[in-house]
Structure 1
Amino acid sequence: MRTFVRLLLVVLMLTACGKKGPLIYPDMLLPAPPTAVTVRQVGQAMKISFVLNRKDRSGRDLKNLDGVTIFKRTTIAGQAPGCNACSEDFVLFRKLYLEPAPLESGVQRFGGMLLLLDSDVRIGDQYSYTVKPFTKDAVDGQASAPVTTAMVAPPPAPELKAVPDPVEIQLLFSSVPPGQGTFVGYNLYRAPKGDHLPYVALNREPISGKSFTDSGLDRKLSYVYVVRSVVRMPGGQLVESELSNEVVTRLTDE
């Protein structure tokens, strides 16, 4: 009888231990870094984008994410590249809180993706950015791997024309060849009149042709359109030109 009781106790202890799950080290409970961190030159600015990560480092849901801190490193033209693993080389660029909405001026959010511009840049210098999340308890998470690009003279701005009809609007592009690099296409941006232009292009991939037809529009609204040329530089990075002229138009009456 005693042997049976002892075996039963052992089984109960093993079962209870199994319910606790695997041991998770404290550093794995920290917020995981944002994903899809990118930087691209747009005109005379750098556009930084990233996707918020709602997980901790162990992959479990994170419910108290409060915001992110963005750090920046500037490498002056002619200097040796910095150390990506050396956090002391980076300085505070922006600290963003997710609440209350909307986010502060100059920051745009599309679902889980955040975008912002850095205009404090200079042609010839190289810029690196890393993004670190923090919780409502002021606990810092893991920083993202740095992303880096060099500032170059932007391609010339293209010209834009619009031809509306009762059901769609045709946008026509023209541009001069870039001084350096290879022309890739155009990125088109649209917003209802009175709204801020988005940092995300209307097209998913650069438009290789000289026109684009926009449909499914609201007949009651006027729309603002601008376009940028997209050029692949000799170093491989994609660069967008300055904004074209702004066109305001709407669907015509039938």
Structure 2
Amino acid sequence: MNITVIKANGLEIIKLYIPNLLLYLTKREIEDFIEKGYNYSLTIEEGTHINNFLGLFLQLVKSHFGKGSEIFLNEIKIFDYLIGKFHSVVGENKGFKSLLLGNINDFKQNNFLNSLSEIAALLELTKQYSFLNYEAPLPNGKTIDFQLKNIKTGKEILIDVVSIYFDPLRYENKKGIRKFINHRINTKYDSKVNGLGKSHKSDIYIFPVYHDVSGLHKKSQAILESNKKFLLSIKRKNCFLIKNKTFKIHFFVNSNFEKYNLVAASEYFKLLPNK
């Protein structure tokens, strides 16, 4: 599909399928994304799967004209839902606009679930924190996802989101699943604090988001149930084998339930069907 067709229809297609994006981004910003994104797509080897917002947008255009699959539409719906939900809770927000611009224009990212995790986590965090900055700079030259301020105490905090997605069916052994989750959280923390002094390290927290790629398979649920005690132990105080300060692990519920939400581990286990 050529640039003329995409330019002529891209904005209207976004208005149709992702209307909430227009709550934060201008027509010009979306048109810039369309042109730059299309030009970038020309540099990618034909047949390469682009698993980011650009890839979803190009699929959306094809599907709109009856030339592609609609399997990907679930992620588009989640994206639009989360943006709308954030707007209804927080309203206009420059930091959130920066987050959206950063995500849609990150053509090299290859996992759109990371983008969804960030937005869903931020939405959950706004229950207790005000949003100050996205991709906040650190003294060691790195950046961290969110700079937030506690609404009650005024204390600022730095949070990085880590997406944990894997098939529990591959980790029936308790040690395996625990080792994997611990490694993901600790590696993310270490990658941010390396080179920082103790005072800066104390402000940094990890927010883990779990995606069940097995599609809530019964056996998968049973494996998670067997690790319930461990999963519930992951919280802001140091827990077993996790050496950093970590928020409670949240589950991204995006199938078998009516709405697309993050739920804490304790709530997730309540949602599972009775045996």
Give the TM bin, normalised by the shorter chain: under 0.3
TM, length-normalised to structure 2? 0.25
Structure showing greater radius of gyration is 1
Flag the structure with higher strand content: 1
Q: TM-score, normalised by structure 1?
A: 0.27
Structure with bigger RCO (C-alpha 8 Å, 6+ apart): 1
